[in-house]
Structure 1
Amino acid sequence: MTTPAAADPGRPLAAWERRRLRGIERGLRTGTRGRLVLCLVLDVLALTLLAAGIFVALPWLFAACVAGNVAVCLHLGRR
């Protein structure tokens, strides 16, 4: 029986690839507390503006879209 291609781990990583992956992983782990608080504040702000836009006035909905985009960029952005 042959091993499926998806189970094949491929060639071992080169030293520079391992260093680069370790650096990316380290960057994802450091400074999470302050960044998490900022992300949560922006999420709450975006949801509040969204609710105000639906129930109060349309300009608040636009502000919610802008705040939501900023929050998403912060969540996905690099350090």
Structure 2
Amino acid sequence: MREHGIRFHTDAAQSAGKIPTNVNELKVDLLSIAGHKLYAPKGVGALYVRGDLELEPLIHGAGHELGRRAGTESALLAVGL
């Protein structure tokens, strides 16, 4: 799919922490997890982005997360995850 410019996202909310989730073996470009499925607080999650992938921000503003998002992250939720 990469040779055609197609990005592959997988929602691993149900599987992360329960079965092996290796992004290289899965050959995914993007992978998301939900924190509350891993006993972290509700309202926090994570997005894996393959290193050479460039994403257009949905909300423009301050350049947090390498320019991918605006706003301040919750350090408490991040630590909880």
> What range is the shorter-chain TM-score in?
under 0.3
- TM (norm. structure 1) is 0.22
Greater Cα radius of gyration, structure 1 or 2: 1
More helix as a share of residues: 1
- TM (norm. structure 2) is 0.21
